[in-house]
Amino acid sequence: MNNSLKTQARLIGTTGLAMFSMFFGAGNIAFPLKVGQLAGNQSVPAILGLLLTAVGVPFLGLLAIILYEGDYRAFFARIGRIPGFLVAFFLLIILGPIGAVPRCIALSYSTIKMYNPALSVVIFSLISCLFMYIAAYKKSRIVGLLGAVLSPILVVSLAIIIIKGMLIHPTASASTLDAISMFKFGLYEGYNTMDLLAAFFFSSVVITGLRQSSESRGRDTWLVARDALWASIIGAVLLGLVYAGFVLVASYYGSALAMVPAEVLLGTVAQTILGPIGGLLVGLAVVLTCFTTALALASVFAEFLHTEVSSQRISYHISLLITVVITFVFANFTFSEIVAMLDPILIVLYPVLLVLTVMNILHKLCGVSMVKIPVMIATIASIIWYYAPQVLTHVGVGG
């Protein structure tokens, strides 16, 4: 392999690690462990369900945006310029200051508080937002920082947790759910990772980073897209391995994890497997994990405010400041409260976004032009599917 190919392979590997790091946040820790907590001896169908919605579906989103050369604006504009803008803005609000970013901070706080019960949530959130602002201030360095520095530390930390937990463990107890029910549970919990939403915007960040790298300057657009696809595969494989490992480890220790809240599952698992010092090490890894994802999401939202919402009338740095201030407000809610707020939104959104993704992929690969009608049908069906049982229950109770 010549030096040019080695350099390109290194760039793809670093970018793949960066994608894994950007995706792997609070939900990616809590929900696979939550699935394993209930899986018991039905861990295999649980893993399959989780991987379908937490890896397979987001990979479709990555593929779609790569086909659109990293331009998520063109991707969403297929349903109309204004509707596309509003959908993108709404998704970024959920991913940014009111949803995923404060959820990352809340999970970090819950984990660290296990070792410092007197820790103030206000002070922790304030320090987290301050560090996030400082790190995202130089936006051009984000992908390189994540891939070259933080991601390897994260991967090693997670590998220690999983390998140690799988080498010596008790026998998984019998699950109270059958295989089909566990598959469905894993399927639904995969929605909560919000990785499909993130895929639309992270792909844009990654492709921009690849284009700006010295190795890719002057290269054909589709060669850059090919590198982005390989990096996406690396990120997806790493995510899948960690998810499967988390489910298996949590399934072995299901009895010890009974009634443990989702936000402290990893800390509890780590203490059980590695002891107090190892648990503290894992807690620090959790903070690192959540920080990398929050950093990427905050940067993407701030850039959207800067370029799309304000048409550059508000500077990127002011947009970033607005982002972290709103994040600070929502970060003072508990992890469970944020999850409860997001849950109905995600249940309705995911089928709609999946249909949009598939139709846009078909448009690029097969020339299929239809998109608005399938998305409209999916929206109506998803709303009815979610709200109809509640309405019927209310009517039944009222009668």
The structure tokens listed for 84 are 């596309």
| Average pLDDT, integer, range 292-296 | 81
The structure tokens listed for 251 are 């399934």
Rounded Cα distance between 135 and 53, Å, is 31
Angle among Cα 369, 375, 376 to the nearest 5 degrees reads 120
Question: For residue 165, what pLDDT is reported?
Answer: 83
| Average pLDDT, integer, range 200-216 | 74
User: Which of left, alpha, beta for 120 (phi over 0: left; psi -120 to 50: alpha)?
Assistant: beta
Q: What is the mean pLDDT of the chain?
A: 86
Question: For residue 386, what pLDDT is reported?
Answer: 84
Question: For residue 144, what pLDDT is reported?
Answer: 59
CATH node for 3-335: 1.20.1740.10
**Cβ pair 309, 86 in contact under 8 A:** no
- Give the pLDDT band (50/70/90) at residue 34: very high
Give me the residue label for tokens 């009895």.
Answer: 255
Lowest mean pLDDT of 112-116, 360-364, 373-377, name the range. 112-116
Q: What is the pTM of this model?
A: 0.85
Question: For residue 189, what pLDDT is reported?
Answer: 92
- 85 versus 225: which is more confidently predicted? 85
User: Which of left, alpha, beta for 259 (phi over 0: left; psi -120 to 50: alpha)?
Assistant: left
Distance of CA 86 to the CA centre of its chain: 21
Question: For residue 6, what pLDDT is reported?
Answer: 77
Question: For residue 208, what pLDDT is reported?
Answer: 76
Lowest mean pLDDT of 58-62, 207-211, 271-275, name the range. 207-211
**Cβ pair 111, 287 in contact under 8 A:** yes
Q: Is the pLDDT of residue 399 over 50?
A: no
Give me the residue label for tokens 């407000």.
Answer: 329
Domain borders along the chain are 3-335
Q: Is the pLDDT of residue 1 over 60?
A: no
Lowest mean pLDDT of 83-97, 124-138, 159-173, name the range. 159-173
User: Would you tell me the crossing angle of helices 3-23 and 265-304 to the nearest 10 degrees?
Assistant: 110
**Cβ pair 152, 144 in contact under 8 A:** no
Tens digit of pLDDT for each residue in 226-283?
888 898 899 899 899 999 999 999 998 888 888 888 888 888 888 888 888 877 877 7
* Percent of the chain topping pLDDT 90: 43
Give me the amino acid identity at 248: L
Give me the amino acid identity at 147: G
Question: For residue 83, what pLDDT is reported?
Answer: 93
Tens digit of pLDDT for each residue in 313-343?
999 999 999 999 999 999 999 998 999 999 8
Tell me the DSSP string of 149-186: IIHHHHHHHHHHHHHHHHHS-PPPPPPSS-HHHHHHHH
Lowest mean pLDDT of 41-50, 123-132, 158-167, 201-210, name the range. 201-210
